[in-house]
Chain A
Amino acid sequence: MLELGSSESQAVSDFRCTDGEGVKFVFEAYGILVGVTTDDLELSRKLFEISNRAMLGKCRVLDASNAKAEHEFVIKKSSGDKFELTSVGEYTTGSGDLRETLELFVRILRLKVSQFAKNWVFVHAGVVSWDGKAIIIPGNSGSGKTTLVAECVKQGALYFSDEYAVLAPDGFVYPFARALSITNGGRKWSEDGIPVEKLGGRAATEPVEVGAVVLTKYEPGAAWRPERLTPGNGIIEVIPHTIPMTIDADFSLKVLKSALSRAIILKGVRGEASDLAAELYLFSYNKLTT
């Protein structure tokens, strides 16, 4: 279930009432400015809290009367207990209950930030590290990267993300350590994940260099016998998972080169995630650490 904290509310001091149109707040996350308008102050606070949680505490509230948002959302009651979400200039979703609407909002927010973040390149990937070198595991939704990341964490890896490799021009990968998106008996959505600590692991707090990229997909019974790709061939395999590639190819390619050109890039099919996690643990200590 979605549970809303209250600590972030203390930070919210710049929400503005717009005449007859409700409450508007603007925040910055990963360099982009997002505006949200609602018809209810309490809902505004709730939206900021979940935005901040979705962005792992990186949202900074701005003065809504001065800041010009690049992406605007409007969330308002449509009828009864139904709500409507509009991504301004794009589309309005059908009515849903509050939970569905908030869920949708968080997903669209993540998408916007991952596409338009300034000075960051988001890659769809799981990320862990051993001894200061990251292993990036690119993959589409449903490709099993969360399962593999969880198994690596159980093998002692530091947790960075099960969703995004967040790369910067310095060539480092930064933590995006959200709760792992593992189904836990009930309905699953992005905020219902399992904190890494519950797996006995720890979340990274500092960026590290990329030691390796693992391009893999599951095949029952397969053994891990990867081929090593050249940096160039490895980078073009990562490009389809690079979210802002079609928006800012020049910057994305520069950052990919900076982050991956010294990494070991492996490609191959895998069997069970626990087996590959054990292989990666050994590989990491034998090949990546100095």
Chain B
Amino acid sequence: MNNPQYPIARKNGLVVQEVPDEVLVYDLDTNKAHCLNKTAAAVWQSCDGKTSVPEIAKFLSSEMGTKVDDDLVWLAIDQLNESALLESQAEPKFQGQGRRDAIRKIGIASMIALPIVASLVAPKSAMASTSCRCDNGQNLDCQLQPSCPATCNTSGGLNLCQ
């Protein structure tokens, strides 16, 4: 983000689907799938580059009917930043023990759920989700798994592409 006080949500290279109380984001560049909970999604959708962190907190406060602290927004922004869901990277506000302390402090004070961005990597190809096993003892089992070595090692009943 050019100015970390005015974060911008990334738009390009993402596929977005909303499900009840969550937003799913698939990153076409990294094949990563992210699930933003309601709080993280609300922060992300507010990151337009024109709204400051305190303004986002204020907006969320009115939307959710309870006071939202700036630090809660920063927690969301740190995670969105780590997940490459913002336009440019910045130093996280909270790290290590500082983040754990912040989560504890905000968690106690906040009436809304803490922001969570859960992420998983999808395999680059359909066959990447296979196991590199060659149960038939044949090299062709391996050749059909492009992410695996091409030769089937059957010694000792191993039956693995190596």
Whether A283 sits at the interface, judged by CB under 8 Å, is: no
Segment with Cβ contacts to B, from A135-143, A152-160, A268-276:
A135-143
- Partner of A239 from B20, B22, B122, B130 at Cβ < 8 Å: B122
| Complex CA distance for A261 and B131, rounded to whole angstroms | 28
Say yes or no: A140 contacts B140, CB within 8 Å: no
Say yes or no: B22 contacts A231, CB within 8 Å: yes
Interface size class of A (residues with CB under 8 A): 35 or more
Whether A81 sits at the interface, judged by CB under 8 Å, is: no
Inter-chain contacts of A249 with B (CB < 8 A): 15, 26, 28
Whether A254 sits at the interface, judged by CB under 8 Å, is: yes
Residue among B19, B121, B123, B127 with the highest chain A CB neighbour number at 10 A: B19
Chain A: CB-nearest residue to B137: A187
Say yes or no: B35 contacts A232, CB within 8 Å: yes
- Partner of B136 from A124, A188, A244, A254 at Cβ < 8 Å: A188
Say yes or no: A242 contacts B17, CB within 8 Å: no
Inter-chain contacts of B26 with A (CB < 8 A): 239, 245, 249, 253
- Partner of B24 from A93, A107, A188, A232 at Cβ < 8 Å: A232
Minimum CB–CB distance from B80 to chain A (whole Å) comes to 15
Whether B21 sits at the interface, judged by CB under 8 Å, is: yes
Residue among B119, B123, B129, B144 with the highest chain A CB neighbour number at 10 A: B129
Given contacts A240-B129, A246-B125, contact A230 B22 (CB under 8 A): yes
| Complex CA distance for A231 and B8, rounded to whole angstroms | 27
Q: Is the interface of B mostly helix, strand, loop or mixed?
A: mixed
| Complex CA distance for A95 and B125, rounded to whole angstroms | 25
Say yes or no: A235 contacts B35, CB within 8 Å: yes
| Complex CA distance for A150 and B139, rounded to whole angstroms | 28
Given contacts A249-B15, A253-B24, contact A240 B121 (CB under 8 A): yes
Given contacts A107-B144, A141-B133, contact A250 B120 (CB under 8 A): no
Segment with Cβ contacts to B, from A7-15, A53-61, A96-104:
A96-104
Say yes or no: A246 contacts B31, CB within 8 Å: yes
Inter-chain contacts of A254 with B (CB < 8 A): 17
Minimum CB–CB distance from B13 to chain A (whole Å) comes to 10
Minimum CB–CB distance from B39 to chain A (whole Å) comes to 13
Segment with Cβ contacts to B, from A108-116, A194-202, A220-228:
A108-116
Given contacts A103-B140, A124-B129, A236-B24, contact A245 B122 (CB under 8 A): yes
Inter-chain contacts of A233 with B (CB < 8 A): 22, 35, 118
Whether B33 sits at the interface, judged by CB under 8 Å, is: yes
Say yes or no: A108 contacts B120, CB within 8 Å: no
**Can you spell out 13 A-B residue pairs with CB atoms less than 8 angstroms apart?**
A93-B140, A100-B140, A111-B127, A141-B131, A142-B130, A142-B131, A233-B22, A235-B24, A236-B33, A240-B123, A241-B129, A243-B129, A246-B122
Chain B: residues with CB nearer than 8 A to chain A? 15, 17, 19-24, 26, 28, 31, 33-37, 118-127, 129-131, 133, 135-136, 138-140, 143-144
Q: A240-B121, A253-B15 are in contact. List 19 more A-B contacts (CB 8 A).
A: A94-B139, A111-B126, A115-B126, A140-B129, A141-B131, A142-B131, A142-B133, A183-B135, A187-B136, A188-B136, A231-B22, A232-B22, A233-B22, A233-B118, A235-B19, A239-B122, A240-B129, A245-B26, A250-B15
Chain A: residues with CB nearer than 8 A to chain B? 93-94, 96, 100, 103-104, 107-108, 111, 114-115, 124, 140-143, 183, 187-189, 230-233, 235-237, 239-246, 249-250, 253-254, 257, 261
By Cβ-Cβ distance, the 6 closest A-B pairs, closest first, are A232-B22, A232-B35, A243-B126, A142-B131, A236-B33, A239-B33
